[in-house]
Structure 1
Amino acid sequence: MDFNKNLLIYPMAFYAFWMFGVAVHLFRTRVRALKNREVSMKYFRAYTEAPPPEYSKVAERHYENQFEVPTLFFSTGLMHFALGAANNLTLGLMWLFVVSRLAHTYIHLGSNNVRFRMVSFFIGWFTIVALWAQMVFFVV
């Protein structure tokens, strides 16, 4: 039975929507910091004024993280799709990456336990390396 490469859209779409949720969370933390007068509106003009409180800074940094490693996730997912080089392992690795990033968000925006956060980050990196290795194997 052939693998349905269209299944790859689900982990990518799920994660894209998750990223939108992280953006909403960032917006809400910024509004909260402004309402509580913990940061000035001037800060958001050039990010040179006194920084926001830690909870808002963590949310800001977490949002920025969504445009670092996850770009490798989306690009390899699209390459697997375009080249028809996907299989059940590909799909499993993609979902594992998504789960690792959900855990990373939960930890980073929650307890922010660096040890646990590092584990979830490593799992995500491992899956990205495995996806790229699989891509190279299929193309060569």
Structure 2
Amino acid sequence: MPLTEKLLILAIAAQVLLTLGILIWLGFERVPRVARGEIAVKDIAADRAAYPLRARLLSNSFDNQFQLPVLFYVAALLALWSGGAGWAEVVLAWLFVALRYAHAAVHVISNRVYRRFALYTAGLVVLALLWVWLVLRLIILAPSI
């Protein structure tokens, strides 16, 4: 397997690790509070308002990992499937993942909305570039695929 494909798989794994890490942190924020009776199950059955701010921020960040990253996973898998994942895909993938880590950190630590929005937008731009490159490479530059 070429190095570029290994690096692309590692970018996918890093994004998965971020998602799982947020989920585990969320569990440490939520489960003990419910287990100790600080939060009644009936109060969280329909929404998250009963949880403290940190748990709500983690929950929102976790949910956010199923928005843009879904399009990232599809793009990365398409690049791998095509058998021609190159350095452009690797660089864009890792840049996207780095921006997702930064976005998640801002989301759950300071929750500075403008900074978070800037990081989200930067990730969106990188993801769009990845998709534009993939379409160009797979459809226009190599139409035999």
Gaps of 5+ in 2: 140-145
Q: How many residues align?
A: 137
TM-score with structure 2 setting the length = 0.85
Matched, 1:19 2:19: yes
Is the partner of 1:109 in helix, strand or coil? helix
Equivalent pair of 2:48/2:56 in contact (CA under 8 Å):
no
Change (3 A) 1:87 1:49: closer
Equivalent pair of 2:4/2:87 in contact (CA under 8 Å):
no
Change (3 A) 1:50 1:40: farther
Q: CA deviation at 1:3?
A: 6.4
Aligned-residue CA RMSD (Å):
2.0
Is the partner of 1:26 in helix, strand or coil? helix
Gaps of 5+ in 1: none
Identical-pair percentage: 28
TM-score with structure 1 setting the length = 0.88
> Counterparts in 2 of 1:18-57, with a 5 A limit?
18-34=18-34, 35=36, 37=38, 39-44=39-44, 46-48=45-47, 51-57=50-56
Give the 4+ runs in structure 1 shifted more than 6 A: none
CA deviation vs aligned residue, 1:26-51 (integer Å, no higher than 9, x gap): 111113443471x212234x325863
Tell me what 2:68 maps to: 69
